[in-house]
Structure 1
Amino acid sequence: MAPHFPLALLLLLVICTGARGATFTLVNRCEYTVWPGVLSNAGSPKLSTTGFELAKGSSRSLQAPTGWSGRFWGRTGCEFDGSGKGSCRTGDCGSNQVECNGAGAAPPATLAEFTLGGAGGQDFYDVSLVDGYNLPMVVATSGGTGPCGATGCTVDLNLRCPAELRVEEAGGDGKGAACRSACEAFGKPEFCCSGAYANPNTCKPSSYANIFKSACPRAYSYAYDDATSTFTCANADYTITFCPNFASQKSSKDSPPKAPTGVLLSDEGWLASLATAAADSASSSCRAIPWAGLLLMAASSIITVAVTVFL
């Protein structure tokens, strides 16, 4: 009788081939609720959600396929009614819903931007303040190969935003809710890198961009800030953390008491993660497999079967 080919191994190879991509885990360490927004670029599939509520101390994971590109941001000061309709003070996407449904963030907003499986199979990612700033954010990698550096802005720029760029909290008490870019505030070509300034030779960082850059040296401060602000990694998963060091002082109507140091994953965070747990587990398992050994086993089994049949 011909030896039995290890069916489980074949099944594993079939399932895991092409199963690469990335898991994005969004963590809220702010002292208030954040409503992340998700926007896929043109030609990239929508992820399982385009916007959701992320309570203080909670997290949620989303799976993205290879080749996906898009951005994440945090909305703050949101008020939604029982039917899910409403808006946000910063980062609002204009959908009047918790889900952004293909709409991007209204500036000013801190953005985390990704392209998976780009040139040379590398992922490209950055944290951008080109459209302004609304809350601290850090992107960190896990399980990847290559430089895979962490990037972002841990400083609360709302506390040091120039008056002419400041978006004040509701009530006009002088506290900053967000910090606009010079482009949005003044609309001049030299600030927007447009018109005669639409190339890296003519568009240079302004004094306002330098304020952002000095506070957050790894984040994009203006359109042509690529050299120090674009990061690469391959086959990694990504954690996007809002308020990574509890630095932000923005208030919220439903702000609970101050949380202790560390990431606390609330029940809501774990329950939300269950929705994508199967996909995340499959992806992680596939990445951890010793592929060389498995392929050698598969080839050996196939050769054994072929020789047995021939004889």
Structure 2
Amino acid sequence: MLTKIYLIFLLFFKFHSLVSCNFIISNNCPYTIWPGTLAGAGTSQLLSTGFRLDPSHSARLAAPLGWSGRIWGRTGCEFDGNGVGFCATGDCGGKLQCAGAGAAPPTTLFEITLGTGQQMDFYDVSLVDGYNLPLFAAPRVRYGTCNFTSCTTDLNS
């Protein structure tokens, strides 16, 4: 039996004045990953732009209305007590907190733009910067249906 191991992003859309979306990042890989985030132009960075996520654990990130950006998983990371170090894949300037630095290729990306008001949300899994981890993103919404998006295989191999 083939078991797929992947990083999961679940999107919980909440519509109220302060937070429009909670991202639940789950590490289904058998090794530790270090998710990183980068805000798109014109939107602010999330409260956490990098953190450790052990196997079988999840973390929640809140994004404000209209937020646009990327979330990715870094692998093979080592950081000192000051959060300085490196990652084998997805490194963002040698720091635990990416703080505005993007991911070094190869990195599988989750990209999203959250709509405001009547605007729609747009999201995808992108290999524009290469592939380092299998990634699956599934929205959970109160009303209607939305499709999941994923890339669970390195298409270059």
Instruction: Give the TM-score range, shorter chain.
Output: 0.7 to 0.9
Answering whether residue 54 of structure 2 is matched by residue 65 of structure 1, we say no
State the distance in 2 between where 1:71 and 1:37 align. 8
Task: Find the residue that maps to 1:38 and give its secondary structure.
Answer: strand
Deviation of 1:118 after TM superposition, in Å, equals 5.9
Task: Find the residue that maps to 1:92 and give its secondary structure.
Answer: coil
Q: One-letter code of the match for 1:51?
A: G
Aligned residues: 143
Tell me the equivalent position of 2:121. Answer: 123
State the distance in 2 between where 1:126 and 1:142 align. 15
Deviation of 1:107 after TM superposition, in Å, equals 0.9
Contact kept, 8 Å, 2:45 with 2:99, in 1: the verdict is: no
Deviation of 1:119 after TM superposition, in Å, equals 9.0
Deviation of 1:18 after TM superposition, in Å, equals 2.1
Larger Rg: 1
Tell me the equivalent position of 1:106. Answer: 104
Task: Find the residue that maps to 1:121 and give its secondary structure.
Answer: coil
Answering whether residue 81 of structure 2 is matched by residue 77 of structure 1, we say no
Using structure 1 for the length normalisation, give the TM-score: 0.44
Contact kept, 8 Å, 1:118 with 1:124, in 2: the verdict is: no
Structure with the bigger percentage of strand = 2
Contact kept, 8 Å, 1:113 with 1:127, in 2: the verdict is: yes
Answering whether residue 34 of structure 2 is matched by residue 35 of structure 1, we say yes
Contact kept, 8 Å, 2:19 with 2:62, in 1: the verdict is: no
Contact kept, 8 Å, 2:36 with 2:97, in 1: the verdict is: yes
Change in CA separation of 1:61 and 1:124 when aligned onto 2, cut-off 3 Å: same
Using structure 2 for the length normalisation, give the TM-score: 0.84
Deviation of 1:146 after TM superposition, in Å, equals 4.4
Residues 234-253 of structure 1 aligned to structure 2 (within 5 Å):
none
Contact kept, 8 Å, 1:80 with 1:87, in 2: the verdict is: yes
Contact kept, 8 Å, 1:116 with 1:122, in 2: the verdict is: yes
Deviation of 1:149 after TM superposition, in Å, equals 0.2
**RMSD, aligned α-carbons:** 1.9
Residues 1-311 of structure 1 aligned to structure 2 (within 5 Å):
18-94=17-93, 96-117=94-115, 120-155=118-153, 157=154, 161-162=156-157
Structure with the bigger percentage of helix = 1
Q: One-letter code of the match for 1:80?
A: F
Deviations 1:181-237 (A, max 9, x none): xxxxxxxxxxxxxxxxxxxxxxxxxxxxxxxxxxxxxxxxxxxxxxxxxxxxxxxxx
State the distance in 2 between where 1:50 and 1:146 align. 31
Deviations 1:149-178 (A, max 9, x none): 0001122x2xx744xxxxxxxxxxxxxxxx
State the distance in 1 between where 2:78 and 2:47 align. 23
Change in CA separation of 1:52 and 1:20 when aligned onto 2, cut-off 3 Å: closer
Tell me, which stretches of 5 or more residues in structure 2 are unaligned?
1-14
State the distance in 1 between where 2:16 and 2:151 align. 36
- Percent identity at matched positions? 54
State the distance in 2 between where 1:38 and 1:105 align. 9
Change in CA separation of 1:121 and 1:20 when aligned onto 2, cut-off 3 Å: farther
Deviation of 1:75 after TM superposition, in Å, equals 0.4
